[in-house]
Amino acid sequence: MNRLVAWLVSWMAMALATGGSAALAAQAEAGASIQGSETEEQAPTELEPGTTSWIYRDAMEAPWQDYSWAPHSLTNTTPVAAGRYSISTTMRAREALYFNTSPLAAPPGTMFTLRVHGGTSGDNAVLLVRAVVNGTLMPGTELGPYCTGGRIRANTWVTCDVPISVLVPQERALTGLLIQEGGGLSLPTLYFDELGVRRPSTPPPPVEVAIAPTSVTLPVSGTQAFTATVTGSSNTAVTWSVQEGAAGGTITQGGLYTAPASAGTYHVVATSQAAPTKSAVATVTVQSTPPPPGGKWVSGYYTGWNADLYPPEKVDFSALTHILVGRVTPNPDGTVNTQFDNSNGPAIARTLATRAHAAGRKALIMVGGAGEHHGWVGAASNANRARFVQNLLNAMDTFGYDGLDIDWEPVEPADKPSLLALIQALRAARPQMLLTMPIGWVNSNFPEDADPWFANLVPYLDQMNVMTYEMTGPWGGWLSWYTSALTGESGYHPTSVSASLHAWANAGIPKTKLGMGIPFYGMAWRNITGPYQPYTHWSDYVGSDNSFPYSKILQLSATGVHHWDAAAQASYVTFDVPVEDGTVRWISYDSPQAIAAKGAFAHDNGFGGTIIWTINQGCTDPATGANPLLDAVKDAFLP
């Protein structure tokens, strides 16, 4: 193919991709006829089984040619997935990387394979993969669902395998491939590496679907999380349905089934999106026996480093069901530190356990927390796990505690086997102990971040509490938002207590074991003057945890204006004259009104309760122990 024809093809693709005028379309059609007349004379090359026609590995590889119309570099040095270079590109609306080739046949099972890196903020990038067939631009498909984890990720390389069969009509040869911006937006810089067309050595296995569990018995209106496994396709997504329709209950696309109000036998169906003729069915028997009643819990964290804010002798245990006293921290060799972040920490820990038991309440040791990931990984390893479990049990017995709160933050993919093994070992060693764990809030734009893997922990844990605070920040495209809004999430402030709890419930964690987080501190901001405004920079953030406890918010707000956002069910205060360091213009925090709304939400929706971070920061007078936020939690959750 000469360069003139190749240019015409790439020009045609660009004109069609950008929705050109009728005149442009006519000229593009002429370009297509030139391309078609030449390629029809060429017999297509067919890949041998087990081979790859590489497009790019450090450089373009023949017979592929680069005719991209998005700004790009073929010699980017960082980040790189393999070799010396990768492709970097900063696409505007509808721009594309376009790679042209002589006709290439694509037998069943052939894949367009590549690696993509979302840069610093490419999580929301919408990219289309499209093929050119003899001068005709095919509709294509979105790239993200064919990548590891089901989407492009910021700061991470993921591998994507797109079946050529979804790009090219059957028995047609492709003459080009495009990666095109598909959302009509300008994207941050993205990176691509190791692009090629790969034919596996053996024919692909047939698509099969399995469902788990295959049968279950539920009370009326009960819930059950189902999972589906798809083999034989890189597209593992399924469509969930109930065979009997609405009369048989409902199921979310995350696999969470809710039984109907009538007893009977019903069927949950998982259908492969890659092969819609393939499905699996589970049988659900619904009985009229109602589920057992359950109360709400209030689990309050008490931290040693700010014990002076709320002396242990002043803690109001009538407002708590559990106190979580921190911290004991793990060492990589399986030993533990038991100073509780205070020079008088052991004595404080004993006092709190004694007072909790005298009030008929439970006391747990908070283990770990932010910054302790290295210790968790080593202590929970196969080599050290048994020693670690014994040391944790010794700490419980030494200080008179009823259980442990496992604050493993963050839980990386590689950590999951060790975390599960640790939880199982603790439960086996002390079956009657209390075990709880905090988990992260969820961005409603990515509900799949509520990882269904955590449902594996459910049989061993008594509580799984979502840390629904500090759910905002000056991240790309975000509008200013509240630290712990109950509702009101949207695409540009995509967090709320409601969205996070429902996402985790959809991932398979029973509502009765899910709790929400309530902060007893606020988040303070400069430059912006309230919610729903674009963040300007990280300098907008002034402080939050430990810097703006409730007593300080009350003191500062004497010169401010209080607000209630009914859509978010959140409180905030604004300042015409900046306070604190002369720059703070607004503070987001949980008022008694916000706490009352959260308690009503937990009761109305069947969630288990709440954690508080931290009860120390709610105290307004250490001498008397006055804690108006804890009083509000008591009224809302323990009526």
Kindly state whether residue 575 falls inside one of the protein's structural domains.
no
- The confidence score (pLDDT) of residue 25 equals 32
CB atoms under 10 Å from CB of 440, counted, come to 19
Kindly state whether residue 570 falls inside one of the protein's structural domains.
no
Q: Which helix (H) or strand (E) holds 519?
A: strand 514-519
Domain count, the chain: 3
Tell how many helices (H) and how many strands (E) occur in the chain: 10, 36
Last residue of a domain, one of 287, 306, 341: 287
Do 323 and 266 lie in one domain? The reply is no
Terminal alpha carbon distance of the chain: 79
The phi, psi pair for 374, rounded to 5°, reads -60, -40
| pLDDT above 90 (res 273) | no
Do 477 and 501 lie in one domain? The reply is yes
| pLDDT above 50 (res 271) | yes
Pairing of strands 157-163, 86-89: unpaired
| pLDDT above 80 (res 142) | yes
Query: In sequence order, what DSSP letters do the residues of 529-544 get, joined into one string?
Result: -SSSSB---GGGEEE-
What is the C-alpha to C-alpha distance for residues 584 and 577, in angstroms, rounded to an integer? 9
| pLDDT above 50 (res 35) | no
The sign of the CA dihedral 494, 495, 496, 501 is positive
Kindly state whether residue 399 falls inside one of the protein's structural domains.
yes
Beta-bridge partners for 283: 215, 267
Beta-bridge partners for 562: 573
The phi, psi pair for 128, rounded to 5°, reads -105, 145
If pLDDT is split at 50, 70 and 90, which confidence band does 262 have?
Answer: confident
Q: What is the CATH number of the domain that holds 62?
A: 2.60.120.430
Domain boundaries, position 255? 208-287
Task: For tokens 């005709």, name the residue.
Answer: 136
| pLDDT above 80 (res 639) | no
- pLDDT tens, position by position, 440-473: 999 999 999 999 999 999 999 999 999 999 999 9
- The confidence score (pLDDT) of residue 213 equals 86
| pLDDT above 80 (res 153) | yes
Kindly state whether residue 430 falls inside one of the protein's structural domains.
yes
Of 245, 243, 247, 246, the closest CA to residue 270 belongs to: 243
- pLDDT tens, position by position, 524-573: 999 999 999 999 999 999 999 999 999 999 999 999 999 999 999 999 99
Check whether the bond before 139 is cis (ω within 30° of 0). Answer: no
Task: For tokens 């289309």, name the residue.
Answer: 128
| pLDDT above 70 (res 41) | no
Name residue 627's amino acid.
N
Do 278 and 333 lie in one domain? The reply is no
Kindly state whether residue 530 falls inside one of the protein's structural domains.
no
Do 218 and 161 lie in one domain? The reply is no
| pLDDT above 80 (res 220) | no
The phi, psi pair for 197, rounded to 5°, reads -110, 120
Do 363 and 474 lie in one domain? The reply is yes
What is the C-alpha to C-alpha distance for residues 433 and 400, in angstroms, rounded to an integer? 12
Contact between residue 306 and residue 551 where contact means Cβ atoms under 8 Å apart: no
What is the C-alpha to C-alpha distance for residues 250 and 261, in angstroms, rounded to an integer? 11
What is the C-alpha to C-alpha distance for residues 581 and 508, in angstroms, rounded to an integer? 45
Do 55 and 22 lie in one domain? The reply is yes
Do 176 and 255 lie in one domain? The reply is no
If pLDDT is split at 50, 70 and 90, which confidence band does 39 have?
Answer: very low
Q: What is the CATH number of the domain that holds 279?
A: 2.60.40.10
Do 132 and 253 lie in one domain? The reply is no
Do 282 and 334 lie in one domain? The reply is no
Do 353 and 239 lie in one domain? The reply is no
- The confidence score (pLDDT) of residue 276 equals 78
pTM assigned to the model: 0.57
The phi, psi pair for 301, rounded to 5°, reads -80, 135
CB atoms under 10 Å from CB of 624, counted, come to 9
Instruction: Give the count of alpha carbons within 13 A of 462, CB side only.
Output: 23
Three-state SS letters, 214-231: CEEEEECCCEEECEEEEE
Q: 409 is written with which tokens?
A: 């933050």
Q: What is the CATH number of the domain that holds 606?
A: 3.20.20.80
Stretch 326-350: mean pLDDT, rounded? Answer: 97
Of 150, 226, 148, 219, the closest CA to residue 506 belongs to: 226
- The confidence score (pLDDT) of residue 37 equals 33
215 or 622: whose pLDDT is higher? 622
Kindly state whether residue 546 falls inside one of the protein's structural domains.
no
Kindly state whether residue 292 falls inside one of the protein's structural domains.
no
Name residue 336's amino acid.
V
| pLDDT above 60 (res 109) | yes
Last residue of a domain, one of 266, 287, 308: 287
As a whole number, the mean pLDDT across the chain is: 90
- pLDDT tens, position by position, 579-604: 998 999 999 999 999 999 999 999 99
Query: In sequence order, what DSSP letters do the residues of 459-490 get, joined into one string?
Result: GG-SEEEEE-SS---S-TTPBP--SS-SS--B
Kindly state whether residue 574 falls inside one of the protein's structural domains.
no
- The confidence score (pLDDT) of residue 295 equals 67
Q: 475 is written with which tokens?
A: 């991240």
Of 243, 241, 271, 244, the closest CA to residue 257 belongs to: 241
Do 42 and 188 lie in one domain? The reply is yes
Do 327 and 431 lie in one domain? The reply is yes
Query: In sequence order, what DSSP letters do the residues of 391-402 get, joined into one string?
Result: HHHHHHHHHT-S
Last residue of a domain, one of 148, 176, 198: 198
